[in-house]
Amino acid sequence: MHIIYFVIFIRISTPSTHINTFTFHTSSKNTSYVLGILISFHFFSFIHYTSQRRPHLERMYEIVSTLGEGTFGRVMQCIDHRRGGAHVALKIIKNVEKYKEAARLEINVLEKINEKDPDNKFLCVQMYDWFDYHGHMCISFELLALSTFDFLKENNYLPYSIGQVRHMAYQICLAVKFLHDNKLTHTDLKPENILFVNSDFTMSYNVEKKREERTVKSTAVRVVDFGSATFDHEHHSTIVSTRHYRAPEVILELGWSHPCDVWSIGCILFEYYLGFTLFQTHDNREHLAMMERILGPVPSRMIRKTRKQKYFYRGRLDWDESSSAGKYVRENCKPLRRYLLSEAEEHHQLFDLIESMLEYEPSKRLVLADSLKHPFFENGGSEATGSKTWEGNRDISR
């Protein structure tokens, strides 16, 4: 088995002390750290260090559990002994250049967010610290709870209540407006990247459905994962966003900016309200067909401008409704308002908000400054906190 050694450190108060030969030196502080963790990407284990000679040693991070893993590496729940024993999430990146570069870009964005929103008024995840140890990038974050998707999944995809949707929607709009105000597009908004601060819940029994159902106690959320976030002046990749939340201008390669995030938010709110994905597909042509079934025809201007003419014929979507795929779309998609679960005013207000976020034309799509004033939020959501921008001509982008 190929073992990759990694670190959770033990703090030493003296400047250059070495124990066992494994030390880590920071350039910013005259401090050394001693290797205290062995990590393989096949398993994680904690090596407990004791020292009779140096009883003043203090571990920096102590692993509690694995929170998740992906191609980039793993995320561990740790106790940060420098923060008074606070629990944190430590994102550990594999020593692979493409993942390391992505981590550097994410760190840059997170540092700018921390700089301009030190009190976390705008609900983006807080980065506490980062370091590079022998090529492994590590990022320490505030510890959050389940994602809004994972809670939905663990609750058998029972939708959130209209009040819960309202509060989460307001917070997401506030957070992403803050990014947009500061010339940044998230590009990968989805329920998996909206995390609850605390996902504790109450249980009740649904007699009609004969099952236990969970209700989250607090709908306070944070926006996470800035690995794909892009400043306005930077190179914009042709394709961004996870498929189901991808805006039409991205599919048609017409260029994108802040409005692609707004489209994603519209898809997210629909999913919270219904419990399932609005555009459940993995194919561009089928995706466009679903959009037309739910939202109406793609505007002729967008059809004329796109390089993706293979999806169109004589100015219309080239789609065979009699095919098996055509039948699937016809049976599984319907005009947006027909998804309403109630005729109550607040439900119609939500769908009015979603419709304005799902405008085909990016220039006509709702901007988030206006979304926060939408009638849907008049019955609650959150107190407006105002917007703090990255002001002046100072270049804060990477």
Q: Does the active-site annotation cover 188?
A: yes
Instruction: Choose, from 181, 188, 225, 261, the residue flagged as catalytic.
Output: 188
With beta carbons less than 8 A apart as the criterion, state whether 13 and 30 touch: no
29 among annotated binding-site residues: no
Which residues, 6+ apart, have CB-to-CB distance to 46 below 8 Å? 8, 37, 62, 63
Residue ranges at the known binding site: 91
Instruction: Catalogue the active-site residues.
Output: 188
Q: Detail the residues annotated as belonging to a binding site for ATP.
A: 91
